Structure 1
Amino acid sequence: MNSRIFTRNSSPLIILSLVLLIPVLITITSAEVTELNVTPEVVLPGETLLVSGKASPGEEVWLNSSFEIALPVSEGAYRGEFNGIEIPAGEKKFSVTAERIKTIRLSIYPIFWRTIEYPLEGPKNATNGTATISISFPATWGGITIDIYGKKTVGVYGDAADNAKSVNLTTDMSIKVTADSTGDFELPINTEGIPSGEFLITAGEKEKRVYIVAPEPEPSVFDTGSPEKPYPSISGIHSGTITPNHTITVSKLSTYPCSGTGGHIEYIKLGNTTGWNVTAMWDGYAGDWHTITFGEPFTLYAGSTYNYTIITGSYPQIHHTDALLTANGWINCTSFVDANGKRYCNWIPAITLHSRR
């Protein structure tokens, strides 16, 4: 069967839409796996695991990975966002199951330079509070084969069940590999975008557990802390002031993201009335993606007031107040203009200034 290569001016979205309407019919059978290894078994987010093992020579082996996460409910809705998820080329099946919900929908970006939402016709309704969405690739329609691979941002969202405080989310990815002539198989798995916690990997009747642990926190010199109620949240432009109560040296700025999202700061400018200022920009969803590093360390002096302009992306945690007293001094909101153009005067982003590079 022929596979065709699309150009930017062709109509791949039409074909993809038709492909996604075809039900997932892949049956995953258990291979006779005699050995399964995962190295290392404890990793930091974004590090790569090597999954290897033994099966019969030339046998097709499905490697299955899964993790679970609880998503908070805000105003009757839930949302999770997993950034930089590495999707390998080749045969695979991706599924998401949510519990304590009314509806569910997925978004994947980028696909042909834009975001695709699935199901295409709208959110899927839950049965008895539970729903599962499954997608498999490559898929063929009309002689055209489409595969999705590379780094993607995957979103899961919908309406929660009545009175639900959180939603249980289970994600599963199954990837097919083929054992070589000696029965050996291996697959590297990048853990970027996967939340901290337990990560289960299975093949045949074998299973291994991997633990993704958050890195040790860096020393903070000005920390707003995480608010008790971080929602509502939206991206936008924050303006305000910071007045430290002791002299601090700053080299990094990190953001508290809302649970299950990619909340981050894309740009910051700090300055004062003398004309001094410093700026820094986000490097994207790679590595420690919720942290911005300044070009050179700088000093903020006790009792001096500094103006800030902060541009946020996705869903950062928000302190809903116009002034916040921290252990390190004051941070105040002058204005916040959200992505829809609405203006507020009581939104302060939850941030930490760090001293160590």
Structure 2
Amino acid sequence: MKINNYVNNIKLVKLKRTKLVLGFLSVFLLLGLFISPSAAKTDWKISPSNPTVGDTLKIKGTASPGEDLIAQVSFEKELPVTEGRYHYLLEKIKIPRGEDNLLTLKGEGVENLNVSVTKLFFTKKLSSDAPRGIATVSRRNVPPLTYKVLIDGDALSTPSKDSSVKLTVTASQTLKTSSKGKFNFNYHTSSMPAGKYTIYIGDSKKTIELKPGKNKWHF
């Protein structure tokens, strides 16, 4: 009987040690998940800090090595409505080279949204109805050229004489970080209207104000 009790005590001690080791391993695995390098935060800076139309915006930053980051730039514009219609012309919009780019135009307070994109002597027309007052037109993988973009359409009927339409223009593309987690991106602003821009890169957001240059082109 004493031998059996001794053997049972040994087995019980071994079982407790095994559970203790498994417990420590579980804790270490959880810690490894929380401090995984794949969860690195995106950090970036933009220069110059007070840009004007015509400057080259330079963005440099770091994230996880080999990561695909979505870089997105957007601006908003309140368009006046005249006799039930609205319009807005962007003379020279330059699409930079990049992977999987996307250009999106959204109109709020509209019956429809028409977008005419012209390059050289070719014009592409896109349209969207707005059953709930919001219309969106998107184009993916736009060739890296310079375009003239005319935006117009019918506004929602309203009794107010000072009605307006809200237009949001958003451009995005994919940036890939290096083996050291670094990335950079340059964009010449000569084709951009002056105003406030919201820039998202990965999980980070910044707002800049592009001031009018010599051409005094602003929106």
TM-score, normalisation: structure 2:
0.73
Question: Could you tell me which residue of structure 1 aligns to residue 26 of structure 2?
Answer: none
For residue 32 of structure 1, report the CA deviation from its aligned partner.
5.1
**Paired residue type of 2:182:** D
Please state if 1:47 is matched with 2:55: yes
Question: Could you tell me which residue of structure 2 aligns to residue 61 of structure 1?
Answer: 69
**Paired residue type of 1:202:** Y
Question: Could you tell me which residue of structure 2 aligns to residue 88 of structure 1?
Answer: 96
Question: Could you tell me which residue of structure 1 aligns to residue 11 of structure 2?
Answer: none
Mapped to 1, the partners of 2:134 and 2:74 lie a distance apart of 18
1:131 aligned residue (129, 135, 143) = 135
**Paired residue type of 1:45:** V
Q: Share of identical aligned residues, percent?
A: 29
Output one character per residue of 1:269-301: Cα deviation in whole Å (capped at 9) or x when no partner: xxxxxxxxxxxxxxxxxx7287xxxxxxxxxxx
Cα separation, partners in 2 of 1:167 and 1:52, compared to 1, 3 Å: same
Please state if 1:148 is matched with 2:143: yes
Mapped to 1, the partners of 2:86 and 2:191 lie a distance apart of 18
Please state if 1:199 is matched with 2:197: yes
Q: Which runs of 5 or more structure 2 residues have no equivalent in the other structure?
A: 1-38
**Paired residue type of 2:156:** A
Larger radius of gyration: 2
TM-score, normalisation: structure 1:
0.46
Question: Could you tell me which residue of structure 1 aligns to residue 117 of structure 2?
Answer: 108
**Paired residue type of 1:63:** A
Matched-pair contact (CA < 8 Å) for 2:54–2:189: yes
Q: Which runs of 5 or more structure 1 residues have no equivalent in the other structure?
A: 1-30, 138-146, 216-286, 291-357
Question: Could you tell me which residue of structure 1 aligns to residue 187 of structure 2?
Answer: 189
Alignment of 1:334-349 (within 5 A): none
Mapped to 2, the partners of 1:116 and 1:93 lie a distance apart of 16
Mapped to 1, the partners of 2:188 and 2:78 lie a distance apart of 22
Mapped to 1, the partners of 2:59 and 2:94 lie a distance apart of 15
Mapped to 1, the partners of 2:71 and 2:96 lie a distance apart of 12
Cα separation, partners in 2 of 1:167 and 1:175, compared to 1, 3 Å: same
Mapped to 1, the partners of 2:70 and 2:145 lie a distance apart of 19
Q: Normalized per residue, which structure has more helix?
A: 2
Mapped to 2, the partners of 1:192 and 1:74 lie a distance apart of 29
Matched-pair contact (CA < 8 Å) for 1:36–1:207: no
Bigger relative contact order, structure 1 or 2 (CA pairs below 8 A, ≥6 apart): 2
Matched-pair contact (CA < 8 Å) for 2:42–2:201: no
SS in 1 for 2:178: coil
Question: Could you tell me which residue of structure 2 aligns to residue 74 of structure 1?
Answer: 82
Mapped to 1, the partners of 2:66 and 2:137 lie a distance apart of 31
Question: Could you tell me which residue of structure 2 aligns to residue 288 of structure 1?
Answer: 215
**Paired residue type of 1:288:** N
For residue 79 of structure 1, report the CA deviation from its aligned partner.
0.8
